[in-house]
Amino acid sequence: MLVSDSLGVNANGHLTVSGCDTVALAEKYGTPLMVYSEDGIRRNCRKFVSSIEENYGGKGLALYASKAFSCLEMYRICKQEHMGVDVVSGGELYTALKAGFPAENIFFHGNNKTDEELHMALENGVGRLVVDNIEELRRIDALAAQMQLTAAIHLRIKPGIDAHTHNFIRTGQIDSKFGFALETGEALAAVKQALASDHITLTGLHCHIGSQIFDIAPFEHAAEVMLDFIADIKAQTGAVITELNLGGGFGIKYKDSDNPEDFTEYMKRVSVVVKEKCAEKDLDVPFIVIEPGRSVVGAECVTLYTVGSVKTIPQIRTYVSIDGGMTDNPRYILYQAEYEVLCANKADQPRDTVVTVAGKCCESGDLIQENAAIQSVEAGDIVAVLSTGAYNYSMASNYNRVPRPAVVMVCGETDRLIVRRESYEDLLRNDL
C-alpha cells in the first residue's frame, strides 16, 4: 500500500520514513513539514549513475533536474553521488554554486535566459548551455566574444514525439515553446549557425519528451530520431556531434495503481537502441546525458499536516482541513495531481473513509485531494500526503502570507533540518 521503499509503519501504528516516526517528527518540527528520505534519494542517484556505468561503460552523465527540488543540501548530495545537475534559472545556478557544486557539471536550460543569466553562467564556467532559440545563439556568441571565451553548447531539439503517461504519439510538429523543430528544418539551420559561430562549440544535442512517462518506447523512439539527426548533420556538414542528452521524464508512483517501468530497464533498452542505431549509421556511440528530476526525489518525501477541522456535509462530502495547502503543494489545483493520503498516527488502521483534504487558503480550489480514501480522522490528527518530493516545495508560494514549511531530511533513523520554516519576519524581508 505504500508507494516507496522508504516508507513503513512502526509498532505504534505510526507512518515512518527511513525508519523515523513521522508523528514524532511533526511534534519536534511542527507542521506543515516535508520529510525527505536521504537514503531513498541517494539510492535513486546511485541507480542512475550505475546504469550509465553498466550500459555505456561510464561514458555519460546523469544530471539531477534540480527544478524538482532545489536547495543547498540537494546540490551537496548530488555532488557526493557523482551526479551533474541541470538548472533553469540564475536562482538555481546561484544555489548550486553556493553549495559548492562543480560548475563544469552544471547544464543550463531555459527558453528565455537573460543576458545577466548567460553572463553568470559563462563567468562561472558552467559546463553546457542548452540553447533554445536563434536569438539566444546569437546572444551567446556575442557575449562569449566579449568575454573572450568559447561557450560549449547543446541545442534543444523538438524530436516530434509527444509522450503521455501511458502512450505516445508522433506528431508532424509539436506545439511547444521549447527548442528547435526538426521537421521544418529549423533545427538543421540552428546547427549550421552554431557551427559557423566563432565563440561557440556545438558539442551536443538535447531533447526532453515529457514528464511522468511510464513507457520505454517513446524514449527509444526519441533516441532513434536524435541519432538519425546526428547522422544527417554529419552527412550534410561533416560535423560530428559527440554528446546526446536524452532528457528526463521517468515516471514515479503517486498512487498504488501507478506502475512505472523500473529505470534500470529503461536505460538497458535505450542503450541497445542507441548502439544499434550508431552501428547502422556508422557513428561512434555518443557521450550520453540523462536528466531525471521527479524520479530522484518525488517518491522520497511525505508532507505532514495537522488536521484543524473535519466538516461533514451530509450526502455531499467531508472536508478535512489541514494547516497547509496550495501554498506548499499547488499540484492539485494546477492539474488535479493524484496522491495517496493517510493518517500518520493511525497508519495501521484501514483507510475506510472517503474525504476531501482541503488547504487553509482563501480559494475554494485549494484542495490537496478529493475523494481520497483515508482512516477515520479528527482534529489533531496528522495527515500525510505521499510522493510530494518533486515540484511541491519548488513550486511553493506565500499566498495569503502563509510561510513556507520546514524541510527535514531523515537518514538511518536520524533527522536534520535542511530548510528552515519561514517566519513572519521572512515574509517582510523585501517589504519597504
Residues with active-site annotation: 362
Stretch of 4-12, 158-166, 285-293, 397-405 contacting ligand PLP, by CB under 6 A? 285-293
Residue nearest ligand PLP, Cβ-based: 293
- Beta pairing, strands 367-374 & 106-108: unpaired
CB of 106 to ligand PLP, least distance (A): 13
- Closer residue to ligand PLP in complex, CB, 65/342: 65
> In the numeric block, which cell numbers belong to residue 152?
560549449
Burial class (CB in 10 A: 0-12, 13-18, 19+), 13: middle
21 binds ligand PLP (CB under 6 A): no
Burial class (CB in 10 A: 0-12, 13-18, 19+), 416: exposed
> What CA–CA distances, in Å, run from 368 to 127, 185, 360, 361?
38, 44, 10, 11
Helix (H) or strand (E) holding 9: strand 7-9
CB of 178 to ligand PLP, least distance (A): 7
CB of 157 to ligand PLP, least distance (A): 11
194-233 residues in contact with ligand PLP (CB under 6 A) are: 208, 211
Residue among 127, 286, 292, 330 that touches ligand PLP (CB under 6 A): 292
294 binds ligand PLP (CB under 6 A): yes
Stretch of 51-59, 292-300, 348-356, 409-417 contacting ligand PLP, by CB under 6 A? 292-300
- Closer residue to ligand PLP in complex, CB, 202/344: 202
CB of 298 to ligand PLP, least distance (A): 7
Residue among 295, 303, 327, 356 that touches ligand PLP (CB under 6 A): 295
CB of 218 to ligand PLP, least distance (A): 13
Read off the DSSP letter of residue 250. Answer: B
- Closer residue to ligand PLP in complex, CB, 208/360: 208
Question: What distance in Å separates the CA atoms of residue 130 and residue 152, rounded to the nearest whole number?
Answer: 9
CB of 12 to ligand PLP, least distance (A): 34
- Closer residue to ligand PLP in complex, CB, 250/305: 250
Query: Nearest Cα to 303, choosing from 272, 335, 271, 325?
Result: 325
What are the start-end ranges of the E strands in 82-198? 84-87, 106-108, 128-131, 151-158, 161-163, 168-170, 180-181
Q: How far apart are the first and last CA of the chain?
A: 50
- Closer residue to ligand PLP in complex, CB, 26/68: 68
- Closer residue to ligand PLP in complex, CB, 65/355: 65
Question: What distance in Å separates the CA atoms of residue 164 and residue 209, rounded to the nearest whole number?
Answer: 9
Distance of CA 316 to the CA centre of its chain: 36
Q: How many residues bind ligand PLP (CB under 6 A)?
A: 17
237-266 residues in contact with ligand PLP (CB under 6 A) are: 247-250
Question: What distance in Å separates the CA atoms of residue 126 and residue 111, rounded to the nearest whole number?
Answer: 17
* DSSP secondary structure of 176-215: -SSSEESTTSHHHHHHHHHHH-TTEEEEEEE----SSB--
410 binds ligand PLP (CB under 6 A): no
Query: Nearest Cα to 293, choosing from 109, 53, 129, 158?
Result: 109
Spatial CB neighbours of 189, under 8 Å, sequence gap ≥ 6? 134
- Closer residue to ligand PLP in complex, CB, 23/390: 390
CB of 88 to ligand PLP, least distance (A): 7
Residue among 3, 65, 205, 326 that touches ligand PLP (CB under 6 A): 65
168 binds ligand PLP (CB under 6 A): no
- Closer residue to ligand PLP in complex, CB, 47/317: 47
84-113 residues in contact with ligand PLP (CB under 6 A) are: 86, 109
Query: Nearest Cα to 339, choosing from 40, 6, 3?
Result: 3
Task: Find cell 497547509 and name the residue.
Answer: 324
291 binds ligand PLP (CB under 6 A): yes
CB of 70 to ligand PLP, least distance (A): 12
Q: Is the dihedral of CA 87, 92, 97, 99 positive or negative?
A: negative
Residues near ligand PLP (CB under 6 A) are 65, 67-68, 86, 109, 208, 211, 247-250, 291-295, 390
